[in-house]
Amino acid sequence: MSFMGSVARRVGLVAVGIVIGLLIGAGASSALRATLGDLFGPSLVRGQFVIFKNGQDDVVSFDRGRIISVSTTEVVLRERDGTVQAIPVDASTKITLAGRGVGIVAVRRGMKGEAYRSNGGTAYRLDVTLR
């Protein structure tokens, strides 16, 4: 890759990072989800984004994979690269199944899941689909 191509790629990646950061900072979780899906498609496995908010760093984590186990306290995902990730959940976790709000009892092994967490804590959002 030429020097100019390398610079253009870096500038593009920085721009994407800024857009994602602004969306997260604005609390636009549905816009963030659409942006992540649009930018990376099904190839996106996981990611972390650091936002400086209210004088502190806020690390937002995204995980995507097949659900291999479910309990009232955690959902375990097997990500596309084989990594197994336990995602803590609780009663405050907003769970959607095909876009509709559901409880943890509706989440089943074999479904696909996308989890969003802040600072390594409990998921604030878990979106699941049947396949």
Tens digits of residue pLDDT in 74-115 = 999 999 999 999 999 999 999 999 889 999 999 999 999 999
> Which pLDDT score, from 0 to 100, does residue 28 have?
47
Domain count, the chain: 1
The predicted model scores a pTM of: 0.70
**Mean of the pLDDT values across residues 50-71?**
91
User: Residue range 15-39: average pLDDT?
Assistant: 56
Comparing CA positions, the residue from 2, 42, 35, 37 lying closest to residue 17 is 35
b vs e for 23-62, b when ≥16 Cβ sit within 10 Å of the residue's Cβ?
A: bbeeeebeebbebbeeeeeeeebbeebebeeeeeeeebbb
How confident is the model over 115-125, as pLDDT tens digits? 999 998 999 99
Would you say residue 35 has pLDDT above 60? no
Q: Which of 10, 41, 55 is nearest to 114 (CA)?
A: 41
pLDDT for 52: 85
CATH number at residue 105: 2.40.50.140
With beta carbons less than 8 A apart as the criterion, state whether 77 and 85 touch. yes
Q: Residue 9 has which token pair?
A: 């790629």
Is it the case that residue 37 has pLDDT exceeding 70? no
Domain of 91 in residue numbering reads as 3-129
